Structure 1
Amino acid sequence: MATDERPIGFWLKLVDQLVDDQFGASFEEHGVTRRQWQMMNLLTDGPASGKQLSDALKPFFPVVEGSITSAELIEELRESGWVSLDDGQYQLTDLGRRSLENLRGAVERIREQLTENVSEDEYGALVAVLQRMATNLGWDGSVEDTAGA
C-alpha cells in the first residue's frame, strides 16, 4: 500500500506513538514521565486533589491491568520533592516549579520539530478537522485539554 493510501487510523496511531516516544525520551533524561509533566502543569493553576489530577488525565491512562496509576505517579513526584501534599491538596514546590521550567525547553523543541514544515493554517485546519471527527464519533467535549498534552 502506498504511503498516501494509508488510512487515517494508521497516521493517528503513528503520530501518537512518535509523540509519546519523543516526550518519553526527553522527559526520561529529567527523571519524569510525560504524565507527571502533565500533572505538574495542572498544578501551575493551583493546588489540586489526587482525584482532580486523576480525572483530568483519565484519557491518558488506559485501563490496563498492571499499569501504573495516576496516584502512583503523583506520589513519585511527592517523593522527589517536586510536589507537596497539604490537607489533601497537591501543589508544586519551588523545586517542582524550577524543574517544570527546565522541562518547558524540551517540550518546546519537540513541538517545533512536530510542526516543522506545517503552516499555522495547516495546523489549525488539522486540529479543527480532528475535533469534528471526534464529535462525529460521539465525543461531547467533556474531555478537557490536559495541560498541553
Structure 2
Amino acid sequence: MDGRRPVGWWVRRLDELLEQGLDDVVAAEGLGRRHWQVLQSVAEGQADRAAVSASLASFAGAGELDGVLADLGGRGWLTAEGERLQLTADGRTAHARLAAAVGAFRRSVAAGMTEEEYAQTVAGLARMVANLERTRAGGG
C-alpha cells in the first residue's frame, strides 16, 4: 500500500471500487446501485418520494430517481400512491435477497479490520467531511 498518496486519492479510489463492486452485486438481478438504494431507503421506512429523493440527492437526480421508481414499480416490487412509496411482498423478498448479497459485499470490504478500526475509519472520514462542510459554510 502506498501511504504517500493523499486522503483524497484514497477516498476517490474507494468510492470507485465501492460503486463497481455494489453494481456487480446487484447486476445479478438486472439492477443498478440506485435500485438498491431506493429499496433500502423504503425498507428502512422512508415511505415518501421526497424522503427517498433527499436521501439520494448526492447520488441521483430526479430523472434518474423517476426511472428507478418506474423500473421497481414495473417489476412489482414497489407501489406508489401519490407520494407514498411501499414495498410489495415481492419487493420485500427481493430486498431481503439483495440485503444478504450486499451484506456479504460490505463484509468483504472491511475484511481484516477490527470493528474498532472500521469505526475509527468511518469516524475519521465523517470528521473530515464535517470540517470541509464547516469551511465551505464560512465557519473556518
TM-score under structure 2 normalisation?
Answer: 0.87
2:16 alignment counterpart: 17
TM-score under structure 1 normalisation?
Answer: 0.82
Question: Greater RCO between the two (CA within 8 Å, min separation 6)?
Answer: 1
Note the residue ranges of structure 2 that are not aligned, 5 or more in a row.
136-140
1:47 CA displacement: 6.4
CA RMSD of aligned residues (A): 2.1
Identity of aligned residues (%): 28
Structure 1 segment 100-111 matched on structure 2, within 5 A: 100-111=95-106
Q: C-alpha distance in 2, partners of 1:15/1:123?
A: 14
Q: Give yes or no for the alignment of 1:76 onto 2:71.
A: yes
CA contact (8 A) 2:78 2:87 kept: yes
Note the residue ranges of structure 1 that are not aligned, 5 or more in a row.
141-149
Q: C-alpha distance in 1, partners of 2:24/2:10?
A: 21
- Which aligned runs of 4 or more in structure 1 are off by greater than 3 angstroms? none
Give the count of matched residue pairs.
135
Q: C-alpha distance in 2, partners of 1:99/1:59?
A: 25
More helix by share: 2
CA contact (8 A) 1:83 1:90 kept: yes
Identify if the C-alpha distance between structure 1 residues 91 and 14 changes in structure 2 by more than 3 Å, giving closer, same or farther. Answer: same
Identify if the C-alpha distance between structure 1 residues 113 and 80 changes in structure 2 by more than 3 Å, giving closer, same or farther. Answer: same
1:60 alignment counterpart: 59
